[in-house]
Amino acid sequence: MLLQFLQTYKNPILHTTLSLSLTFLFLFFKIPSFFLYGLHTYIQPDNTSQNGARAAIRRPDSSEPNSNNNNNNNNVSSELRKRVKSKSKDKDKFEFDENNAQIFRLKLDNNHVQSRLYFDEYNTAFTLSFVSLSCLLLKFYFGESSSGVLENGVFVPVLLGLMGVLKLFISLAKVSFEKSASRSSEKQLSVLVGAMGFLVGLVICFEIVPLFLDFNFGLIGGFERFIVAVLMGCLSGFLFMPGMKNARAFWIGTDQLRSNLPMIYCGWFARMILYANSMLIMFTALLWINPFSEILVNNNNDDGKGARVVSEIGDAERLVGNVGMSSSDFNKLRLWCLLLSGLLQIMALRPNLQMYLNEALLSWYQRLHASKVPDLDFSRAKVFLHNHYICLVVVQLFAPPILVLLFVGLSQIDSSSFQNIESVCSLLPCSVFVKEVALFLAWWVVFVWAIFTSGSLVLYRRGILYVS
């Protein structure tokens, strides 16, 4: 009896065991903290110099009894005191204290990371995300199953995947409205970008303009399309400030400033990852745009082999649909590009975080050499804030690639797994909604990330934006 039960429900048992085991391992070995171990952060001590009132110069003693002489001596001493004070003020004005300009570099360890703000958000999101991805991988390893929804255990990875997506949405919303982490102008721009993303989502989902994207929302109702447009607007607003930070990290890490300071920019391997990540994201964002995707797909196959050669190459339009790969191979290429873009973003996470911390070091260096007597209060505040909000930035840069991977994983779950969930499938077309909408949202995350990053880099190149 027990063996029959284990044989019947082995899939949900394995999914549950894997999720609980990974959760215990992540929390026991503190893997989220270990992921940030070794990053260099900076500390600039407070300015302890006394700029207030100083001790007055002692008046010289006078032993003469004559009161007139005493008055004359008092007048002379007061004039001397004024001259000495004026000279001391002039000296203080041009005095530079090297002790207050020092900056110290420290390596982050577990205690440092756990003491930062939003560490709990990062810890929970990191653990839940990788547990969800592991269960999705186990589901793909088992393959399709014609048994019921309880027997095949598909509800476990689907539930964990939706929980991971919801947790990342909530974490992004929290860090986006943090008061001291960003300027008010950036928050206002995020709201504006979110509204524009919602309008673009309405145009795309309701097909107001002729289709230019290779997505099919034909079987999805109007209310579901409105929900998708709202999600598109939220993603656009939440990812605006992280996209700006990612562009600054790329600008500093690849030494576009030509600072020639090895302690600020990346090494050659991390720089290769940044370049590959940027190019792959831009390429992946174009794969669902029809004018570009139609060129790569061959609609005329001879016996299912290869592409038919066009005898006459006159106009470029003759190449569309006649050269390229088959439709099934092209769909696989798009999925692999989405997966690789998410994995490369995770690989680029540590270099991006280090560049975020090095941005404060660059600000200190610029202020130190800006004038003869530099004012380091701004750089001191920036060093403190960058050190204080490191976990907030981790959440902002960690969420986009994990969202892409989770959406891609949910989109690849076979529709037969939902056939026994009549209460859910009666409300919306499960197979179409889960597969098409999840894949579309994965592409949307990559698309807006590419737009924000490339647009910011163009503004940096033109000198409209600058790193300070």
Question: Under 8 Å CB-to-CB from 418, ≥6 apart: which residues?
Answer: 149, 154, 424, 425, 430, 431, 434
Paired with 297 in beta bridges are 325
* CA-wise closest residue to 274 among 305, 302, 251: 251
- Reported as a single tens digit per residue, the pLDDT across 244-288 is 999 999 999 998 988 888 888 888 999 999 999 999 999 999 999
Paired with 40 in beta bridges are 107
- Reported as a single tens digit per residue, the pLDDT across 42-96 is 988 776 554 543 333 333 344 444 445 444 445 545 554 555 455 454 444 545 5
Question: How many other C-beta atoms can be found within 10 angstroms of the C-beta atom of residue 242?
Answer: 24
Could you tell me the two tokens for 302? 């001879």
What is the bridge-based pairing of β-strands 104-107 and 40-43? Answer: antiparallel
CB 446 within 8 A of CB 289: no
Q: Report the pLDDT value the prediction gives residue 120, as an integer from 0 to 100.
A: 94
Q: Report the pLDDT value the prediction gives residue 348, as an integer from 0 to 100.
A: 96
10-residue stretch averages of pLDDT, the chain, 468 residues long: 72 89 94 93 72 38 47 50 50 54 85 91 96 92 65 83 94 89 88 95 82 76 88 96 95 88 87 95 92 76 46 51 75 94 96 93 82 74 89 96 95 68 49 78 96 95 87
